Amino acid sequence: MPYQVTLIRGDGTGPELAEAARQCVDATGVSIDWDVQEAGADALKDCGTPLPPATLASIRRTGCALKAPITTPVGTGFRSVNVHLRQEFDLFACVRPCKCYPGVRSRYADPPVDLVIVRENTEDLYAGVEFESGKPETAALIEAVNRASTDKRIKTGPDETGLSIKPISVSGSRRIVRYAFQYARENGRRKVTAVHKANIMKYTDGLFLAVARRVAEDFPDVAFEDRIVDNMCMQLVQKPELYDVLVLPNLYGDIISDVAAGLVGGLGVAPGANVGEHCAVFEATHGSAPKYAGQNKVNPTALILSAVLMLRHLKEHEAADRLEKAVAAVIAEGKDVTYDLKPDRDDPTAVGTREMAAAICRRLDK
């Protein structure tokens, strides 16, 4: 029986990338029945919503989705489709491997960086519990905060102050830290580092750290340490080879995963997975690059590597390994790659999205 997988085409360059990734997965020989669905700006125009009910129903049915990039407006418009999916299906673990591949420009190729970011996906400031300045409820909250604190913590008036609430729970922290340790154990990783700001936010990040320390006791075979988030940023720039699996609350995980992607060549080679108890959505870390839509120009590596993560999730480990090796071989050869993977971005021998995907398929045949 073929696997049932939802393929979300996205918008901007998303449809081109989705097709490239699908071709590469099919070339592995794994039998997949793709249910093609829409989401994002194009779906908003056609269906009146960026996340149509049919797309949600498909994911609920298959329990597994490969999602191409989707545009998220800045400041206005609909909230992030990605955040909505994570909350709708309780995809509590965001997993973002950041690995140096020979042939990709990076100052951190020797020794090569090989990190995994495990980010909590449902709590923290990304819960979206916000209160607009000038609203009565905002004024009431400011008054309550100032009454409850020993000094006047919020010193500005409600007409000029917006508020955002940062929920961090014991249960949410426990399951993400436990996921990070289980991932480390199952994938032969040596160490988990919990990243926090517990020196300042003692009742939120302090809770996260305390839970992480308790969970670490259940995994004596995996080393454990913690780092303050600002120090972690410096450590990653100076000596990333010292780290292995990082587990973080939501906001820090979002920021650090982009820092780590920068170490290995950028978002164009950074895959991602969002995993829950009953569902998983796999997506590239980068955006939809709408200005390049339809130009057959963008690098498909990140979404194809996200498909590698999907194959591993489906327990098709041999196919996943072959596909990752095929991607690595094409990049290392440097011939059939997009412009951003060339030493000179103006290199006229650079190929397009379709041609790079075809080269990966040919390599799989070999």
Three-state SS sequence of 291-347: HHCCCCCCCCHHHHHHHHHHHHHCCCHHHHHHHHHHHHHHHHHCCCCCHHHCCCCCC
* Catalytic site residue from 90, 218, 230, 347: 230
Sheet holding 223-228, edge to edge: 32-37, 3-8, 64-67, 280-284, 271-275, 93-99, 114-120, 245-248, 191-196, 223-228
Please state, in angstroms and rounded to a whole number, the distance separating the CA atoms of residues 189 and 240. 15
What is residue 242's DSSP assignment?
G
C-alpha closest to that of 191 among 256, 242, 255: 242
Q: Looking at 3, 101, 108, 126, which residue is catalytic?
A: 126
126 in active site: yes
- Catalytic residue (choose from 3, 11, 42, 197): 197
| Residue 155 annotated among the catalytic residues of the structure | no
- Which of 42, 124, 205, 254 is labelled catalytic? 254
By the 8 A CB rule, do 134 and 159 touch? yes
Asked whether the CA dihedral 309, 314, 317, 322 is positive or negative, the reply is negative
Contacting residues for 46 by C-beta, under 8 A, at least 6 apart: 38
Q: Measured at the alpha carbon of residue 162, what is the angle toward residues 94 and 167, in degrees to the nearest 5?
A: 35
Whether 230 sits among the annotated catalytic residues: the reply is yes
Number of neighbours of residue 56 by Cβ within 10 angstroms: 18
Please give the positions annotated as active site. 126, 197, 230, 254
